[in-house]
Amino acid sequence: MAAMKPRTGDGPLEVTKEGRGIVMRVPLEGGGRLVVEMSPDEAKALGDELASVTVARPPKADSTG
């Protein structure tokens, strides 16, 4: 039997491997969580899409020299 977790929206984003699938739990404003189960291929595609819209910040320049 799976461990029961409290039904709150507090806490970090969680991603776990459960069986052959990947489960992502996203906390929502106002409480609750969005729970999405996906295949490894779908998780890779999601990661690629998120990476394509995420702007990487350049490292801060060292001001000592």
- Decide if 48 is inside a domain: yes
For the entire predicted model, the pTM comes to 0.64
- Decide if 45 is inside a domain: yes
- Decide if 19 is inside a domain: yes
Residue 36 one-letter amino acid:
V
The whole-number mean pLDDT for each consecutive block of 10 residues of the chain, a chain of 65 residues, reads: 60 92 93 94 95 79 65
- Decide if 27 is inside a domain: yes
Number of domains observed in the structure of the chain: 1
- Decide if 1 is inside a domain: no
Domain hosting residue 25, numbered range: 14-52
- Decide if 64 is inside a domain: no
DSSP character string of the chain: -PPP----S-S--EEEEETTEEEEEEE-TTS-EEEEEE-HHHHHHHHHHHHHHPPPPPPPPPTT-
